[in-house]
Amino acid sequence: MSEQTILDMCCGSRMFWFDKQDTRAVFSDIRAEEHTLCDGRHLVISPDLLADFRALPFADNTFPVVVFDPPHLERVGEDAWMGKKYGRLNKDTWRDDLRAGFSEAFRVLWPHGVLIFKWNETQIPVSQVLALTDVKPIIGQRTGKNDKTHWIIFVKD
């Protein structure tokens, strides 16, 4: 097994990973569950480590790379497949939750480490989310249907 140098702090079903079993990564999520989606596909959320991104169980300066792809929906039905696939934000605490997530991501990053942040602004504009951290991003790219998904790179000072 190779050294684990990447933390995916909200891995979900590892949708964007080329190798969903990449041994360089620690896949972490607050939930472990399986669902059959409305189209018959099987959704598996099986993290290596059950952990809350607001309170990560790692020492300071542990990883050179962190991936932060938190839930982005605050309005989604309890049984909706979008909620099962992407998770859901707490409508009352999402700002505090994401602020704590950014803080934890930067805490566990090495100095000059890279944070890869993904956000879909279908419900909440990315500008409101970026306001939750004092660290300024260095690179950003919009993708997806209607350019609503943002991939944003930060470097820890």
Contact call for residues 51 and 101 (beta carbons, < 8 A) = no
pTM: 0.93
Contact call for residues 81 and 37 (beta carbons, < 8 A) = yes
Average pLDDT score, the chain: 94
Domain range spanning residue 88? 6-155
The parts of the chain modelled with pLDDT lower than 70 are 1-2
Structure tokens at 11: 């891995």
Residue 52 sits in a domain of what CATH number?
3.40.50.150
Residue 65 is assigned to a structural domain of this protein = yes
Residue 1 is assigned to a structural domain of this protein = no
CA distances from 65 to 22, 115, 155 (A): 14, 6, 9
Q: How many domains does the chain have?
A: 1
* Share above pLDDT 70 across residues of the chain, in percent, rounded to a whole number: 99
**pLDDT confidence of residue 2:** 53
- Of 52, 46, 43, 1, the C-alpha closest to 27 is 46
Tens-digit pLDDT profile for residues 56-95? 999 999 999 999 999 999 998 888 878 888 889 999 999 9
Give the contacts of 125 (CB within 8 A, at least 6 positions apart).
none
